[in-house]
Amino acid sequence: MHTLTKRGLSLEMGLAAVRAGISQAEPMDLAVSVAVADESGIITAFARMDGAKIVSVTLAQAKARTAVHTAADTGELYTQISNDQALLAGMLAHPGVVLFAGGTPVLMDGHIIGAVGVSGGSPAEDAIIATHAATSLSPAP
């Protein structure tokens, strides 16, 4: 019998990423939602800042799930698949897939252990916050 050892995000790590995202959004004068998904795409930590739009809740969660399920930054996904019309159509037909910035995988030892999704600012602002939150959990090289 073989066993599998998996790396994953703990609740404590998820909450730390949410706090890091909020601390990045505040000086940018943004009210955002921050979602953290584990390696399976299950949301393990979430916060909606006061004043964040309702739509930001589902978008932040979808961005986190998309980043985990595709093993890619959501801001780079469209560029990666836009030349393949069949793949693009298939991705767009998949419920909950987001093809714009704000979802960033969390890596540990080269493995995806989860992702952070942010919504509430522009796609570029969401990406800055998500990247900050995700890299706050990744050990420095």
> Which pLDDT value is given to residue 91?
87
Q: Is residue 1 part of a domain?
A: no
> Which pLDDT value is given to residue 139?
59
> Which pLDDT value is given to residue 94?
86
Q: What is the CATH number of the domain that holds 88?
A: 3.30.450.150
Q: Could you give the number of structural domains in the chain?
A: 1
Q: Is residue 84 part of a domain?
A: yes
Q: Is residue 2 part of a domain?
A: no
Q: Which domain holds residue 49?
A: 11-135
**Residue type at 114?**
G
- Give, for all 141 residues of the chain, the pLDDT tens digit: 777 677 788 899 999 999 999 999 999 999 999 999 999 999 999 999 999 999 999 999 999 999 999 999 999 998 888 899 998 888 888 888 999 999 999 998 888 999 999 999 999 999 999 999 999 986 555
Q: Is residue 75 part of a domain?
A: yes
Going from the C-alpha of 116 to that of each of 5, 49, 107, 111, the distances in angstroms are 22, 15, 11, 15
Please name the residues in contact with 27: beta carbons below 8 A apart, sequence gap of 6 or more. none
Please name the residues in contact with 111: beta carbons below 8 A apart, sequence gap of 6 or more. 7
| Single pTM value for the model | 0.92
Q: What backbone phi and psi angles, to 5 degrees, belong to 79?
A: -60, -40
Q: What backbone phi and psi angles, to 5 degrees, belong to 43?
A: -70, 125
